Structure 1
Amino acid sequence: MESLDNDKRTVFADIRRKVLGRRCGFFHTLARGLVCAGVLWAEVALAQSSSYVYDANGRVVAVTQSNGASAQYSYDTIGNLVQVSSVSSGQLVIFAFTPTHGVTGAQVLIKGQGFSASTSSNTVTFNGTPATVLSASSTQLAVAVPSGATTGPISVTVGNVTITSATPFIVDDTGLPPMISAVSPSVIAVGGSLAVTGTHLDPIDGRTVMSFGNRNVSAVSSINDSQILYTVTASDTSGFVTVETPYGQAESVSPIIVLPAGLNAANVTSTAYVANGGNASLNISAGGQTGALLFKGNAGDWTSLQLSAINTSASNINYAIYAPGNQLILRGTVSSNTPSIHLPQLSVGGTYLATFSPDSAGAQLAVGIEGAGTLTVGTPATIATTIPGESKRLLFQATSGQAFTLLMSISSTTPVGRAVNYAIYSPGQQSYTNGSLSSNSTINLSALPNTGTYQLIIASDGGATSAEQVDLEPAMPVVLPSNGQLGSYSGYATGQIANLTFTANQGDNLELTLSSMSISGSNSSAIMNVYDANGTNISSSSNNCYQGWTCRLPLWNLAAGKYTVTVSPPSSSSAISFNAMLEPDLQGPTLSADTPATVNLSMGQVERLTFNANSGDNVSLIVSDASTSNPSGLPVHVSIYRPDASPITIANYYTTANVMGLGSINLVNLPVSGRYTAVVNTSGIPGAARLTFTPIVMQPIAVNGTNQAYTGGSAGKSVNLTFTANQGDNLELTLSKMSVVGSSMSPLVNVYDANGTNVSSSNSCEQGWTCRFALWNLASGKYSVVVSPPDLSTAVGFNAILESDLQGPTLSTGIPVDVNLSLGQVERLTFNANAGDNVTLKLSNVSTTNPSGLGVYVNVYRPDVGTITTTNSYFVFSTQSSSTQLLQNLPVSGTYTIVVYTSGIVGSASLELMP
């Protein structure tokens, strides 16, 4: 006979309707039919009533609606409903009492209405014998059966009104509620036998219900009035044991722990139960043993376990957390420096189990259970830790794309001066950001990626305690026009993030440019980030937007939707202001051969031009008059994209160049046919250039041929040579009698392989010089040599010869070998030696011609060098006359290679391996 919550009312009301419906089948008279109709109507209203009362037989005896009016139900001796009476709000009435049997001193609950909330204003008698009122409310009295009481009705008097129960209270020792004196064992594994001992456990055969962990057990092994035996099953979960009879209910003093698979009850040496907000202690006697703790959790809770008073010499204390049903949800280690365990949001309600197992020694510890705090936008929250190393958790709600500023004020740390660490986790339990703070700081949360609950976890560094105030403020976005309109953005507080938004169409190629950047309180760069509608970072920069700079972020091939731009100061103590502009790329013309196109870029602009070419073509893109302003003297960037680069990105270019004044991009042996794209841009500042697309006419140069003259013809034209190499060729390309008409600057020389890869280059082959290019260990295929004039007003000419390296003899000790090098020649000689040998090389009788007096060079290569290159030699020396070099303690045995060469001019020398 107890008042239940609304959910239970609804369920039991449905059951009562079915029972009454069956009972009404036995009523045949008109009067009884009217009683049933009234009862059924009352039962429909029952689900909506505010409270109801049952008698000891489980029958509804009263229903009180939300307005205080009640309906009272009366039954005959065989359980038939015979009357439904209306009771006015506040009218004194007894609905029922429990238990219906008892001895002197037993507590009896009287349910009704119209009682006084003051115990002294209620007079209660048992068959005329006055009783003591223990507690009182308007609907319930708790009284003790008085000494000398005899069987008879219970009367209640309030003021001058007295009401008497319709049924008697029987004074005897039957009908007493159950009492549990012990449950053992307190820790049990599946398959173990649980013994519940007490009194009045089975007063009526088949009417006792035992529940374990809030679940009724299906069958017990044995039962009598003083003991119940039950075998634990895999579906059982930890919790309290309850026994319910028709005369009441009893619950165990402590919950019983059902161990997960793999844990032995004999190893559990300490147990405890703790309520939310409370603490409990565990004393684990030895390493390898376990302490077990039970705590209640509700579905949706964010529960944390805070450990304190940890005393152990163990290396680790391992923990595991199990949901009801022993489902593992978290495991890890704890220590005095990391005493906090923050559980994921609980998915089910019930009794949770935490186990703690030190690995090598016993441990004593206390465990507290707490819920997470809430961080509300615009309402500061205070956090204080009292346990060294402890961390606290706050929750806040956000939607995808929202931006916030998190202001954290550190009130104190103990010891003084310790840092405070923080971490923020997204709704999917993924780390969003983290860091360490030593002073009051601002944390910018830009375009949060998901909708849901975010976790902020704060902990003191190095086992300290601390107190902080945390304030979450919205970062209000400003709409950024995408039509090239320049806007000014200022007034941001210290540490405050600037948030801009814009909307893009599918496939847009936009340029975001910040200018007049002002950063107070820091010499570092502002931080720029751009997020799409899903919160994905699509572009960022943290080191190219300093004080006074103009900075450009390319936003190419965008998806349709809303975008967020955040501009953050470099620190919490600095503030920013800037101008910003968003504009689409310009679409320039398609280039025609030898017809210059002028590109003029305003601030932030990028222009895209195109040209058509076929696979295998050789073309040159000449960039002239390249300049910038505000500031001047910076390069213009030109990137070339293949026809099959789709979509074009800042990273998938075919080749790129930075040009100041004049430059050329030579595209040799183009890979595919189609329309190529040239993207011209600066760092965001104004710039200009002229682009001329011109085909390259290739002139053949034979390997081991004669020295021939080559010219580009008109001013600005490059000289282009081509040759074919075999796999592993070691060739020398020598240019002599270099002529640059109209300029004192040197031409640019580039050698490309069949894939267009540059294999050698130089811009130091001056007027009248002879220059040699070592082309060693070549892959088989077609190669191109492009010699470009230094500007469009000059013409170049030269002689060229391409020849294989000479293979000289193997040196013998004490026998000089003459080396005679014609124009551009290189000779390779060898000698044999053992590891640890000391070898002397003597180079003498050195001479050069045209010009004379220059040096002859010697490179020595180890036997295990693999492929010989110009940079992996073991020893190098040169001389203009004579030189003797000692190679001490040679590293390996085998054949060493000597390469003898000049800068390309004619030379000779004598080389000797001396004893």
Structure 2
Amino acid sequence: MATQYIYDAQNRLKSVTDASGNTAEYVYDAVGNLLEVRRYSSSQLSISSFAPPAGPAGAAVTINGTGFDVVASGNQVAFNGAPAVVGQATATSLAVTVPALASSGKISVTAHGQTVQSTGDFVVTADSGAPTITGFTPACAPAGQTVTVTGTNFDVLPNATRVEVGERVASSTVSSPTTLTFKAPQATIGGRVRVTTSKGSVESADLLAVWPTGIVCNGTWIESHWASADGPATAISLDLSKSSLLYFHGQKGQWLSVQASNVAPAGSYVSVWLVLPDGTTVTTSPVRFGPTDGYTVDLPPLPATGTYAVRFQATSSTAVTASVVIESALMLTADAPATQVAVSVGRTRRFAFTTDGTSELSLGVDPVVLTPANHRAALSQIYAPDGRVIPGWGQTVLSCWDTTSPSGCHILMPHLSAGTYAVGFSADTNVAADATVWLSNDIAPTLQPGVPVQVTTTRYGQTARLHFYGTAGSGVSIDLANLQLPQSGGTYVFVRDPDDIALSANQTTTQYVAAGGSMLTIPFLPKTGTYTVLVTPINGSATSMEATLDPGVPLIVDGPVKALSTNLRGKGIRLVVDMVAGQKVGVGITNIAVTGSTGYPGYSLYAPGGTKLSTGTCPPTTTPGCELDLGPTRVAGRYAITIEPPTDANGMSLSAQATSDIVVADTVGTRARSIAISRYGGNARVALQGTPGAGRTITITDFVPTPVGKHMIVSVLLPDGRPLNTTTPLYVALDQSSSTATLKIGAFPIEGTYDVFFDPRDAALASFKVQVGAGVDVTGPGGVSIHKDVVPGPWARAVFAGLVGDHKAVGMDITSLTNPTGTNASLSVFDPDKWGMVQRDTISLLSTCPTSSSGCDFDLPDLTISGNYQVLAELPVTKPDDAVVQISVNSDIVVQGSSGTFNLAARGQNGRLLFDAAAGHSPCIKTTRLSPTGADRLVDLTVYTPDGVKYTAGALYGTQTMSTLQLNTVPQTGQYMLLLDPANGYPTDLSVTVNLPCGP
């Protein structure tokens, strides 16, 4: 029962009764001054008010109070000593009729062996001339049938008497002051009959059933009953051919349920319908009143205020009896004391709450006691005011297990618009539940950069919602430090953007954070606005933490060293480095120390667009420390480095610096140059202007590391910074014992600027000499050393001219490989600026070519630069003569219309079908293979929207001759594209047809 407020005729508060039946009575003097407040427990007999304060014999009076017997006959009521009839009773109200012999005076009530009197007098008045109803016939009538009403004081003047059934006005005729007739109105289920004249109004005690669909009076109709929400149970009797109607008055938006008990035979199936005030029926499937004693039918939210009916009918010839109650959802108030609720076997209990649209709420149930034990209870999802299901956010936990501690479950609410919502709660079959329910406003601080905020939740299921303002294109980290949980387990953390949409996996993923804390990194913010970070304990328990929005400590390239420290568990360090395109920088992290742990801090490096470039660890036992290599940077912007302590560490300290790489030009034939790397994390490079058909020899001498014993790796990098990835990688390692090394580049595979990269390990310092010579020395016949200007490498190269907007793909046929050194070749494509290109719809710079497939392809995105493009094929052989390959560059075959034939004869060639579709349509695309099938002849089918966004994908598998791809309700009108991409670029012939609607 919801909290009930009673007011008198002067609109003064007379009494308040809470959900448990406890009542407070407000007592006033003659002029309206409050004298005292009397409080009564739910079991204590009391009269707190009655209404109306006066009336004639036969008038209806409602007595409010506590401790009444819920069975009407268990209460004895008298008006100044004259016994009265009690019509209906609940524990807090009685509906009585003023007896004929009543006189003005106190009202008394006797129940449960106690007797009390009202504070004020009820005044008995003379007959007011208001109409009365003694009865009507028939009790059930189809719309339009005549109903006769008997009573007194009907007004015989034309249009002076108004008759209503439920909420509908009926056409009536008054034949005498004691008799009138009316036509049963259309569009109503019926209800009480109300007669109104200028002297007053009266409602019938009996109910008129107006014939709804499926009910025939004197046929399938048995009985009508009136029930009050949360009132006493009503006994119903049913069989296969007859229905029972249970009427009640409902308010718009009210959440009600039908609770059945005392079902005989137990487990009977019963059809239940809700009939609306206009007579329309909301159907449900037959439900089983059982299999034990009870069952719940949850009604949808009521669409209007008025008289409703629930219709029951047995589904078999066996007679069914049951007791039914119309039960209101348990109304919850955010941040109010927790509410105790008991759910009987077979029942569901609904909780309801109202929000103004600005609240951020969570609902939790804990503790949960199940009888018998070792079972489960569960929350449903959230039901909106219109009955729609709204899923909970993130890591909502709907199941409550009494085998865990805590035993509860909880729902994290999304942002809800204004209205009244409901959530259901039930236990396993044959299990009863006693639970404590919490509805809470979430803790929602706004984080400012660098300002720690202490966040504490105190109620079960309560969530911390951390808001911060972010700018599109930037990135941030959020420290959740010193995370305290009273029970074992951790928390889930996830992020919503300014439009209340969960960030996609490439921006951030839901993270599990164990007790102690962690750093949440959002590498890329897609929008400008206020973001929300939700921290919800996995078991719903209360928690506390220190939250800090960390935009990052700037590291100035070649600037001062930054000494940084933390002193809380889970608190990390974020560094940011602003770089221009093409810049080459090393970052050194030294003087690493952790408190309270033997573990290693871990680092992650992020590009300006949020891509994670690398990860690693920084062992405190390694000196000087660890280092990260940034560049050459293709994209200008802010790069971020996050450093997280071990999970059990109580603090961390370190020093960090960013240093430009030392770059030495390609000076062939000059004397050796001395290079000194004097800043931790620094690197050096020798830039070689590579031209296919030329070779170089790099000689390194006099290598001295600091501290002693550290290594330096020397490697060759392609123009875009990737290692020259041959089957025998071009690198050497130097240490104190081998301070001299030679690196031979037999031939440059493509045109561009290469780097010989000198990278001291563990952020060490180093000095050495380097000399560049033309050509290479190789061993000839008889072991004689021969100098050559070029020694071709195990690769093939092609060049093609491309224009902006071109649709191209590269294919490679492998005819033969002699003495292969591996099972895969690879393809790379470099744009006119010598940057490696990514394959279409991927972030991959490399296409791996299994030699077993005799070839492969590299699908280019639409070209955005005009100029010469280079193709590099790296082959698993020791010399180029051992490989026979052919590289081809092909334009896509483009067909416009709803059908087309594609002869994809060249290796790597793709097809494009451009077809029109209207928003909301669901066309089918049928692709037929015209060439032979084969296990390795798969064709990828990808559809793009008119604005170029990937919409859906499918495949024509190698063993299939035909495949159908259905597009379900396309989002916009315009020209769509189907891309036909044979796997590994295998040549094939295809026919494609677009059908609307979908059909053969």
How do residues 384-783 of structure 1 correspond to structure 2 at under 5 angstroms? 384-386=342-344, 388-395=345-352, 400=358, 406=364, 408-413=366-371, 415-423=372-380, 425=382, 430-432=390-392, 433-439=396-402, 441=407, 449=415, 455-470=422-437, 484=451, 511-517=477-483, 522=488, 524-528=489-493, 543=511, 545-547=513-515, 550-552=518-520, 569-571=537-539, 580=546, 582=548, 584-586=550-552, 588=554, 591=557, 595=558, 598-603=561-566, 604-613=572-581, 618-625=582-589, 628-630=592-594, 633-641=600-608, 652-653=609-610, 656-658=613-615, 661-667=626-632, 670=634, 676-683=637-644, 685-693=652-660, 716-717=684-685, 719=687, 742=703, 746-747=713-714, 765-767=730-732
Indicate the residue corresponding to 1:239 in structure 2: 191
Indicate the residue corresponding to 2:156 in structure 1: 204
Indicate the residue corresponding to 1:904 in structure 2: 878
SS in 1 for 2:349: strand
Rounded to whole Å, the distance in 2 between the matches of 1:909 and 1:299 is 80
SS in 2 for 1:602: strand
Indicate the residue corresponding to 1:789 in structure 2: 758
Residues 141-172 of structure 1, C-alpha deviations (whole Å, 9 max, x = no match): 9xxxxxxxxxxxxxxxxxxxxxxx999x9xxx
CA RMSD of aligned residues (A): 6.7
- Post-superposition offset of 1:138: 0.8
Rounded to whole Å, the distance in 2 between the matches of 1:95 and 1:290 is 38
Change in Cα spacing, 1:758 to 1:330, as seen in structure 2 (3 Å) is farther
How do residues 766-845 of structure 1 correspond to structure 2 at under 5 angstroms? 766-767=731-732, 788-791=757-760, 793=766, 801=792, 828-829=814-815
Residues 184-204 of structure 1, C-alpha deviations (whole Å, 9 max, x = no match): 544x35xx4343365879783
Residues 834-875 of structure 1, C-alpha deviations (whole Å, 9 max, x = no match): xxxxxxxxx9xx8x8xxxxxx6567899xxxxx996454548
Does the Cα contact within 8 Å between 1:411 and 1:469 map onto a contact in 2?
A: no
Q: Which one is further off, 625-634 or 297-306?
A: 625-634
Change in Cα spacing, 1:541 to 1:305, as seen in structure 2 (3 Å) is same
Change in Cα spacing, 1:269 to 1:182, as seen in structure 2 (3 Å) is closer
2:309 corresponds, among 343, 353, 356, to: 353
Residues 303-360 of structure 1, C-alpha deviations (whole Å, 9 max, x = no match): 2222346689999976553442347789677444794344465464321133467889
Does the Cα contact within 8 Å between 2:132 and 2:202 map onto a contact in 1?
A: yes
Does the Cα contact within 8 Å between 2:519 and 2:644 map onto a contact in 1?
A: yes
Change in Cα spacing, 1:316 to 1:696, as seen in structure 2 (3 Å) is farther
- Post-superposition offset of 1:585: 3.2
Indicate the residue corresponding to 2:225 in structure 1: 273
Residues 501-525 of structure 1, C-alpha deviations (whole Å, 9 max, x = no match): 7887999987542445565653x43
How do residues 334-353 of structure 1 correspond to structure 2 at under 5 angstroms? 334-336=287-289, 339-343=295-299, 346=302, 348-353=304-309
Does the Cα contact within 8 Å between 2:382 and 2:422 map onto a contact in 1?
A: yes
SS in 1 for 2:631: strand
Rounded to whole Å, the distance in 2 between the matches of 1:286 and 1:773 is 93
- Post-superposition offset of 1:435: 1.5
Change in Cα spacing, 1:759 to 1:257, as seen in structure 2 (3 Å) is farther
- Post-superposition offset of 1:136: 1.2
Residues 591-620 of structure 1, C-alpha deviations (whole Å, 9 max, x = no match): 4xxx4664544334434332344xxxx443
Specify the code of the residue in structure 2 equivalent to 1:180: G
- Post-superposition offset of 1:390: 0.8
Rounded to whole Å, the distance in 2 between the matches of 1:405 and 1:215 is 37
Does the Cα contact within 8 Å between 1:397 and 1:453 map onto a contact in 2?
A: yes
- Post-superposition offset of 1:453: 5.5
Specify the code of the residue in structure 1 equivalent to 2:378: N
Q: Which one is further off, 793-802 or 529-538?
A: 529-538
2:339 corresponds, among 381, 386, 394, to: 381
Does the Cα contact within 8 Å between 1:772 and 1:904 map onto a contact in 2?
A: no
Rounded to whole Å, the distance in 1 between the matches of 2:662 and 2:380 is 59
- TM value normalised by structure 2: 0.50
- Post-superposition offset of 1:382: 3.1
- Post-superposition offset of 1:369: 0.5
1:138 corresponds, among 104, 119, 130, to: 104
Rounded to whole Å, the distance in 2 between the matches of 1:827 and 1:250 is 95
Rounded to whole Å, the distance in 2 between the matches of 1:762 and 1:360 is 79
Does the Cα contact within 8 Å between 2:444 and 2:467 map onto a contact in 1?
A: no
Change in Cα spacing, 1:215 to 1:564, as seen in structure 2 (3 Å) is closer
Rounded to whole Å, the distance in 1 between the matches of 2:250 and 2:235 is 19
Q: Rg larger in 1 or in 2?
A: 1
Residues 720-748 of structure 1, C-alpha deviations (whole Å, 9 max, x = no match): 66789xxxxxxxx9999786664866545
Indicate the residue corresponding to 1:193 in structure 2: 145
Specify the code of the residue in structure 2 equivalent to 1:295: F
Indicate the residue corresponding to 1:294 in structure 2: 247
Specify the code of the residue in structure 2 equivalent to 1:638: L
Rounded to whole Å, the distance in 1 between the matches of 2:745 and 2:220 is 85
Specify the code of the residue in structure 1 equivalent to 2:135: I
Give the percent of matched residue pairs that are identical in Structure 1 and Structure 2: 14
- Post-superposition offset of 1:275: 0.6
- TM value normalised by structure 1: 0.54
Residues 680-725 of structure 1, C-alpha deviations (whole Å, 9 max, x = no match): 33236544443234698999xxxxxxxx99x99967105566789x
- Post-superposition offset of 1:421: 1.4
Does the Cα contact within 8 Å between 1:519 and 1:547 map onto a contact in 2?
A: yes
- Post-superposition offset of 1:371: 2.0
Specify the code of the residue in structure 1 equivalent to 2:425: I
Rounded to whole Å, the distance in 2 between the matches of 1:634 and 1:453 is 49
Rounded to whole Å, the distance in 2 between the matches of 1:393 and 1:200 is 44
- Post-superposition offset of 1:116: 8.8
Rounded to whole Å, the distance in 1 between the matches of 2:325 and 2:248 is 10
- Post-superposition offset of 1:278: 3.7
2:326 corresponds, among 362, 369, 376, to: 369
- Post-superposition offset of 1:233: 4.9
Indicate the residue corresponding to 1:19 in structure 2: none
- Post-superposition offset of 1:373: 3.0
Rounded to whole Å, the distance in 2 between the matches of 1:656 and 1:245 is 84
- Post-superposition offset of 1:436: 1.6
Residues 48-75 of structure 1, C-alpha deviations (whole Å, 9 max, x = no match): 9x9xxxxxxxxxxxxxxx969xxxxxxx
Specify the code of the residue in structure 2 equivalent to 1:368: V
Rounded to whole Å, the distance in 2 between the matches of 1:785 and 1:357 is 85
Rounded to whole Å, the distance in 2 between the matches of 1:273 and 1:219 is 25
Q: Which runs of 5+ in 1 are unaligned?
A: 1-5, 11-46, 51-65, 69-93, 100-114, 121-131, 142-164, 642-651, 700-707, 725-732, 776-780, 808-825, 831-842, 849-854, 862-866, 877-898, 911-915
Q: Which runs of 5+ in 2 are unaligned?
A: 1-5, 15-28, 32-53, 60-77, 84-97, 108-124, 567-571, 618-625, 646-651, 676-682, 704-709, 733-741, 777-789, 799-811, 827-839, 841-845, 855-872, 885-1000
